[in-house]
Structure 1
Amino acid sequence: MSRKFKTMDGNQAAAHVSYGFTEVAAIYPITPSSPMPEHIDEWSAAGRKNIFGNTVQVVEMQSEAGAAAAFHGSLQAGALTTTFTSSQGLLLMLPNLYKVAGELLPGVFQVAARALAAHALSIFGDHQDVMAARASGCAMLAESSVQEVMDLSAVAHLTAIKTRVPFINFFDGFRTSHEIQKIEIWDYEDLKPLVDMDAVKAFRKNALNPDAPVTRGTAENPDVYFQHREASNKFYLELPDVVEHYMNEVNKLAGTNYQLFNYHGAPDATDVVVTMGSSAQVVQSTVDYLNKLGRKVGFINVHLFRPFATDRLLKALPQTVERIAVLDRTKEPGALAEPLFLDVQAAVVDGGRNVKVIAGRYGLSSKDVIPADIVAVFDNLAAENGKKFFTLGINDDVTFLSLDRAEGVEVETPGLTECKFWGFGSDGTVGANKSAIKIIGDHTDMYAQAYFDYDSKKSGGVTMSHLRFGKNPINLPYLVTEPQFVACHRQSYVHEYDLIRGIKKGGTFLLNCTWSPEELDEHLPAKLRRQIAEKELNFYIINAAKIASEIGLGGRIN
């Protein structure tokens, strides 16, 4: 089998796989999951075929509750069904999650995990939504990169079909859903032989049919409800084996090494971090950096979160481990601690391991976590009086839980070019950068990554495009802080932002402005002029608005 390379974001990767296994898509868009159903709708309209040789039927409802109800009803009628959601959208589906799981219907919820509106709304990523659904009975599979979304979404669909347990397949909203990467993609012909067609036939045979009426969805009394609730136990007990089986099938086809819990680091590590989602890539590069310095550290990347396979976690954990820090990307006010920590702590106790376990909270609303944060975690873990409960990436001056970022951490990726573009929502900067990174990814032998950082206003707000490309795979799921190239597409930003902070010495700065070279001394702030001189930058100006006007592009200066 040879897989092709293609440049796409996490949403497109999830949609590509889901389309293959889906007969009905019940949809209602919500940021940042909206591009998934958009892709499905577009491909369906173009007549694209799934692995069963049919075109997906797309049903757009008028709310998330409607999409969840259509999802539930479609599964009861014997059609393999998928929906796509995030945040409050997933919460509005909760009653149906419990029903779909209780009735053992093999649907898949593709979730671009996102913050919940609590004291304020946020459209950005964390795990608050999926953690609110963890008791529903749906299996939960997590991915930490765009490539993992492509590879493991297939595992979610295949396992749901075989075990009848519905899946929440999730990845970090924006950080993975909107990050563009050059990845290897599945051909449906390679996935088709993996489908358990006997399970598909049994599912169809069990569908509601007016010619063979049955009673479902009854009310039960205390005499039988408890017994029936326990009757599903064996499905969940068998599920980790099935996930492992399909991960091994993927590993054979793609040359990967997916496990329920992937360990990376020193075989004799004393200190280990456990995490899931996009932070896993940050921890992995930090573990490599620290081990080169002579530390004995490692990390575990959690893929299957529900059911939580305690035996597999303990097997992945080196016998030498003395201390574990568990990182959760969620907050449960009033709880003893967050969910992943509680599960890991329970697993360690259950396995009789004498290991100290501490709990960290990070990354709410897409707050960046960088290698310096992870070094601080390992330092805190090894300290005699380290914090048992801590937060990363913020300054907590209320309960004083935060860890200070470590100083002097330099995780180098050789041969990497990093760029940052300052734009204005709807000026075309983001679109142009998407095109540029896809050209690099699809038409050169280089790897490419793009991430777009903008505020909730979207159209009309400031946008920052972060581009990286180079000869090696790029596993850096955080913002560019030391670019070689910076472009600013709006001249007023010279007074509002520190545009070239962190730029490498001898780098390039391009400013779009209406000023002539002679007027720059008058208009550029003294601080910016000083930075340009001290950093010995190559400084260029362009009047893109004038050029756009002359060639008929209007306000789109991209």
Structure 2
Amino acid sequence: MTNNKRRTKTMDGNTAAAQVSYALTDVAAIYPITPSSPMAEAVDEWAAYGRKNVFGQTVKVAEMESEAGAAGTVHGALTSGALTTTYTSSQGLLLMIPNMYKIAGEMLPAVFHVAARSVSTHALCIFGDHTDVMATRQTGFAMLASCSVQEVMDLGAVAHLSAIKGSLPLLHFFDGFRTSHEIQKIEVLEYDELKKLVDTDAVDAFRARALNPDHPVMRGTAQNPDIFFQSREASNTYYDELPDIVQGYMDKIGDLTGRHYKLFDYVGAPDAENIIVAMGSVCETIEESMDKLLTDGHKVGLIKVRLYRPFVKKAFLEALPKTAERIAVLDRTKEPGAFGEPLYEDVKAVLYGEKYAPDVYGGRYGIGSKDVTPGMVQSIFDNLYHKHPKDHFTVGIEDDVTGLSLPYTVGISREPAGTIKCKFWGLGSDGTVGANKTAIKIIGDKTDMYAQGYFAYDSKKSGGLTVSHLRFGDKPIKSAYSINQADFVACQEEYPLLHNQRMEDQRGHRSRQQDQHDHAGGLLRTN
């Protein structure tokens, strides 16, 4: 059962991000892109209705004509002393990169909430992976990853509070669709609680640095080789101090809620030999899948990456069990031609030169929202147990071209005992998804049960296939994968029924027209 001491609400990840960002934002510069659009839509709606942030003001929302325009607005608003936020994904994020360098270089406390999504390569793909956020890791933005809807709310608040206190921009990201659109019953951070956590001295200092004709300063200079290098290095101390600031706010959120986070969180056997390192929603599935492995006596564990940039070696080594012999590092992106994907290379670099360094193996998963199931998690651990583990592997596909994929068992389910699982098949715009969203929110908000809803869409959207996955029960639900063993299945055929009805209506219309024609002919003959 849920903790009744705090207010709970059933919402998706986008709404959770919007909720905390609205509280700590003066200006929101927006431009829609799937799957991040609902964040901006929620903020825009709340502003229209006059909702107040923690500073007692209504957020100023500026919708621009492109993501590049939104990024420019973010930069401009920050230089005027306004705490500014934006929401984006995929190519939209890439269009913001030039301004991201400037925002970070000028040490401005922006926050970008990103529903991480695939970047178009050989084809357009609107679904989720980490390709977009990985393209920004060199900009100077700190990067914070959330694994679940609850974490989006908690760590979203940490991102804003840390940006203000640390005077650096943060990119807070979570998996597009899997987390951004997944509905969960979560505990809400109240605005009066967040207000108490704001470093008001840091806010005042930031506003005092704003461009102002009453105290003009020089900005945006051009520098030559004599001083540019030195100026770039001068920011080092801010990045050195930021991890402690982030951890400090994680601790304060923990004191409020009882949910404690670290820069790298470890779960599993204290004497684990085989470890997975990952970030994002896959951590939920791995953690759930490990429960049975641990019960069966396997010495396995998981390190969840929270603060990805700056990557803190000391914190990672503290999280890593001393007994670890082999590590599988999972990346939700692909960098063709590289020695390995980004997180894999980071872990290899951190362990280089350590006296007792485990062997490290890299793998790719979940690209383009490919579902990640407990069977795939099992195959990753099986690979680590192998005498000669495969490196640079893939999981979730059958690679019959380069032979990099791991075999896995389909249909393994690891939901907590007693969880009710319902699966609804429908067609886009037939009302199935809307009805199921309402149903799962009613269960979450009106009962003591935990509830989860996830809705798989075809990219054709209206008229395309939809599959609604609903879970509810008395135990927390960490199943960040599609239902593969359902208690209830429904198949909606709204479109064929409507089509048949239209055909009947058309036949009836033609019949009435014929009757009118015959009647008119009879009258003419009579006359």
**TM-score normalised over the length of structure 1:** 0.87
Say whether residues 1:246 and 2:249 are aligned partners. Answer: yes
Contact 1:128/1:330, CA 8 A, preserved across alignment: yes
Moved over 6 A (4+): 512-515
Corresponding residue of 2:280: 277
The one-character-per-residue Cα deviations of 1:511-545 (angstroms, maximum 9, x if unpaired) are x8999xxxxxxxxxxxxxxxxxxxxxxxxxxx9x9
Contact 1:31/1:123, CA 8 A, preserved across alignment: yes
Say whether residues 1:394 and 2:397 are aligned partners. Answer: yes
Corresponding residue of 2:511: none
Displacement of 1:410 in angstroms is 4.7
Q: Distance in 2 between matches of 1:358 and 1:179?
A: 30
Displacement of 1:388 in angstroms is 1.2
Give 2:326's match in structure 1, choosing from 307, 320, 323. Answer: 323
Q: Distance in 2 between matches of 1:419 and 1:2?
A: 29
1:419 partner amino acid: C
The one-character-per-residue Cα deviations of 1:64-122 (angstroms, maximum 9, x if unpaired) are 00000000000000000000000000000000010000000001000000000000011
Say whether residues 1:451 and 2:454 are aligned partners. Answer: yes
2:41 partner amino acid: E
1:234 partner amino acid: T
Give 1:154's match in structure 2, choosing from 157, 167, 172. Answer: 157
Corresponding residue of 1:80: 83
2:260 partner amino acid: N
Q: Distance in 2 between matches of 1:168 and 1:62?
A: 22
2:105 partner amino acid: G
Contact 2:376/2:395, CA 8 A, preserved across alignment: yes
Corresponding residue of 1:362: 365
Q: Distance in 1 between matches of 2:190 and 2:353?
A: 42
Q: Secondary structure at the match of 2:352?
A: helix
2:36 partner amino acid: S
**Runs of 5+ in structure 1 lacking a partner?**
494-511, 516-542, 547-558
Q: Specify whether residues 26 and 408 from structure 1 end up closer, same or farther in structure 2 by C-alpha distance, changes over 3 A only.
A: closer
Say whether residues 1:46 and 2:53 are aligned partners. Answer: no
Q: Greater shift after overlay, 40-49 or 377-386? A: 377-386
Give 2:445's match in structure 1, choosing from 431, 439, 442. Answer: 442
Q: Secondary structure at the match of 1:415?
A: coil
Corresponding residue of 1:475: 478
Q: Distance in 2 between matches of 1:191 and 1:412?
A: 33
Give 2:192's match in structure 1, choosing from 186, 189, 192. Answer: 189
Displacement of 1:491 in angstroms is 7.1
Contact 2:430/2:495, CA 8 A, preserved across alignment: no
Corresponding residue of 2:180: 177
Contact 2:412/2:484, CA 8 A, preserved across alignment: no
Corresponding residue of 2:211: 208
Contact 1:65/1:93, CA 8 A, preserved across alignment: yes
Q: Specify whether residues 492 and 49 from structure 1 end up closer, same or farther in structure 2 by C-alpha distance, changes over 3 A only.
A: closer
Q: Secondary structure at the match of 1:420?
A: strand
**TM-score normalised over the length of structure 2:** 0.93
Which has the higher Rg, Structure 1 or Structure 2? 2
Say whether residues 1:485 and 2:488 are aligned partners. Answer: yes
Say whether residues 1:305 and 2:308 are aligned partners. Answer: yes
Contact 1:489/1:513, CA 8 A, preserved across alignment: no
2:284 partner amino acid: Q
The one-character-per-residue Cα deviations of 1:398-452 (angstroms, maximum 9, x if unpaired) are 1100001147845241111111111111111111111111111111111111111
Corresponding residue of 2:514: none
Q: Secondary structure at the match of 1:301?
A: strand
1:397 partner amino acid: D
Corresponding residue of 2:386: 383
Corresponding residue of 2:510: none
The one-character-per-residue Cα deviations of 1:481-501 (angstroms, maximum 9, x if unpaired) are 1111111111789xxxxxxxx
| Count of residues paired in the alignment | 500
Displacement of 1:352 in angstroms is 3.4
Q: Specify whether residues 419 and 476 from structure 1 end up closer, same or farther in structure 2 by C-alpha distance, changes over 3 A only.
A: same
Contact 1:314/1:351, CA 8 A, preserved across alignment: no
Corresponding residue of 2:425: 422
Q: Distance in 1 between matches of 2:293 and 2:378?
A: 8
Q: Distance in 1 between matches of 2:482 and 2:411?
A: 18
Q: Specify whether residues 119 and 197 from structure 1 end up closer, same or farther in structure 2 by C-alpha distance, changes over 3 A only.
A: same
Q: Specify whether residues 459 and 492 from structure 1 end up closer, same or farther in structure 2 by C-alpha distance, changes over 3 A only.
A: closer
Say whether residues 1:257 and 2:260 are aligned partners. Answer: yes
Q: Distance in 1 between matches of 2:322 and 2:228?
A: 43
Corresponding residue of 1:117: 120
Q: Distance in 2 between matches of 1:145 and 1:422?
A: 25
Q: Secondary structure at the match of 1:203?
A: helix
Corresponding residue of 2:92: 89
Q: Secondary structure at the match of 2:330?
A: strand
Contact 1:264/1:284, CA 8 A, preserved across alignment: yes
The one-character-per-residue Cα deviations of 1:372-391 (angstroms, maximum 9, x if unpaired) are 11111111112112201100
Contact 1:271/1:296, CA 8 A, preserved across alignment: yes
**Runs of 5+ in structure 2 lacking a partner?**
505-527
Q: Secondary structure at the match of 1:82?
A: strand
Matching of residues 494-513 of structure 1 within 5 Å? none
Say whether residues 1:129 and 2:132 are aligned partners. Answer: yes
More relative contact order, 1 or 2 (CA 8 Å, 6+ apart): 2
Q: Secondary structure at the match of 2:16?
A: helix
